[in-house]
Every structure is written in C-alpha cells, then in structure tokens.
Amino acid sequence: MAKSSNSDTPTHVAIIMDGNGRWAQMRGRPRLVGHHAGAKRVKEIVRACPDLGVKYLTIFAFSTENWTRTQTEVAGLMKLFKRYIRRETQSLHDERVRVRFIGDRVRLEPALVDLMDNLELLTAENTGVHLTIALNYGGRDEVARATRRLAHDVALGKLDPREVSDETMPKYLDTYFLPDPDLVIRTSGEARISNFLLWQSAYAEYEFIDTLWPDFSETEFQKVLSRFGQRERRFGAVPV
Ligand code: IPE
Ligand code: IPE
Ligand code: MG
C-alpha cells in the first residue's frame, strides 16, 4: 500500500466537485449551466497542479447514485462528458497529463467509453500530473466489484484466502495504480463523503469548504493546500 509522508504538500489530492446545480439555480439558470461552468474549473485546477506540487489529482465527476437525477440532467451530463473529453484530449496530452478513469464503465454508453479509452491510451506514457476522473464511481460499488474479482481468483486457485490482507484489497480496487489520497476536498458546504474513495481515504485529511465548485479558484486551492501543510498526520501513532 502506498504510504504518504508528512510533507507540506499533499502528493494526492481528491476533490468532490459539488455545488454546480446550486450555482446555476442562484443565477436562475438550468442546472446544466452549472455543470458547464464546473467543467471549466477542472481545467484551471489541473493546470495549477504542477506549480503547486500536486502529482496526483482525482476528481469526482459522476457517482453511482447520480443516475437517480432527472433524465434531462443525466443525459446532459453524459453529453458534457463526451464534449469535454473530445475538446480537452489534445491539450491534456500537450500538457503531459496522464489521464485515467475509475468507476464502472458497463453502464456508460459505448461512445463515451471509446473516448475515455482513447484518452487513457493517448496519455499512457505521460509523466506530468496524474489526473484520475471518477465517472459512474461509487466506493461501495468499487469494493463489491473488487471482491467479485478477488473471489474469482480464489475460485481459480490463483489466490489463497489465507493470504488476503489489507494489502491484497487495493490491488483489486479501481485505484490500484494510485497512492492513497492525502487530502480530500469537498466544495459547496456539504460535510459528507457521498460514497467517494471509501477504502482509500482511511487516513486522508478532509477539507469541507463553502465555495460552490464553479467558483473554486486556483487561489483558494492554494490556500487549502497551505492549510494541509499545517496539519499533523499521526496515522494512529504517538508522535515522539
Ligand atoms: C456536483 O454538483 C456535480 C455532480 C454531482 C454531477 P451538483 O449537481 O451535485 O450540484 P448541487 O449539489 O445540486 O448544487
Ligand atoms: C457527490 O455529489 C458526487 C459528485 C460530486 C460527482 P452529490 O451532490 O451527488 O452528493 P449528495 O447527493 O449531496 O450526497
Ligand atoms: Mg451536489
């Protein structure tokens, strides 16, 4: 399992990008307008990472529970994801960003999955910021899918059940290629994790901030990161 140090800068920042709907509603606009404004923010925050020393950025774009929203909103979001990936693929690659997706792709439309695969493949050798996008992602769903794969390996005789430990599980999770998040930020004032990175965030620091995601700026990002530097992470030990 990847260990995080007590450094001033979090290596891996995960963000629950919340508040797009309220941002639009406050302006008397449809919720999708907020989602479009939110997508613009992603660009700015990804670009800020290299200078701020953040090597891994993971963003929550769509949860397994978000399918329960209206058909209009869900369809609009899927269209937005396709458009965003299509438009940003080249510039992400030019900026050496390595992009990967987590979540269950089975329920996503093939055209979207193709764009996701293409972006992952194109940026696979990039050595810049590691951007992970959680799309149709739910922490419980991820653990259930991981357990299914693990059980399959046991059934095939590839894995001895007596050897299953807390170091085995992460290898089966969608995030097998990521270190655990050091810092999880949620915008929009809600103080809950809404099924995000349940296993991985066991020792993450949390920041719940009031700003709605479309208003989250690089300056505020920087402030949140500097507060992280003042925290003492103990990981269950007594500091000597
Ligand atoms: C977060 O913003 C984006 C998604 C969940 C897709 P919301 O759409 O949840 O915005 P609020 O919370 O309703 O304001
Ligand atoms: C979490 O936000 C999911 C994403 C940001 C993609 P939600 O708005 O869906 O979460 P709840 O419903 O407030 O818990
Ligand atoms: Mg919300």
Residue 212: CATH number of its domain? 3.40.1180.10
Q: How far is the CA of 211 from the centre of ligand 1 (A)?
A: 13
Within a domain: residue 209?
A: yes
Determine, yes or no, domain membership for 231: no
Percent of the chain with pLDDT over 70: 98
With a 6 Å cutoff on the Cβ, whether 211 touches ligand 1 is: no
| CA distances to 68, 78, 135, 182, 214 from 41, in Å | 25, 18, 17, 21, 6
Q: Is the CB of 18 under 6 A from ligand 2?
A: yes
Is the pLDDT at 26 greater than 70? The verdict is yes
Q: Would you say residue 221 lies in a domain?
A: yes
Range with lowest mean pLDDT among 4-13, 64-73, 178-187: 4-13
Q: Does residue 60 sit within a domain?
A: yes
| Amino acid 4: pLDDT | 43
Domain that holds residue 206: 12-140+180-225
| pLDDT surpasses 90 at 62 | yes
CA of 63 to the centre of ligand 2 (A): 7
Residue 233 domain flag: no
Angle at 55 between CA 53 and CA 61, to 5 degrees: 120
- pLDDT band at 1, cuts 50/70/90? very low
pTM of the predicted model, to two decimals?
0.96
Number of the ligand closest to the Cα of 76: 1
Judging by beta carbons within 10 Å of its beta carbon (0-12, 13-18, 19+), is residue 24 exposed, middle or buried? buried
The predicted pLDDT at position 5 comes to: 47
Q: Residue range 99-118: average pLDDT?
A: 98
Domains contained in the chain, number: 1
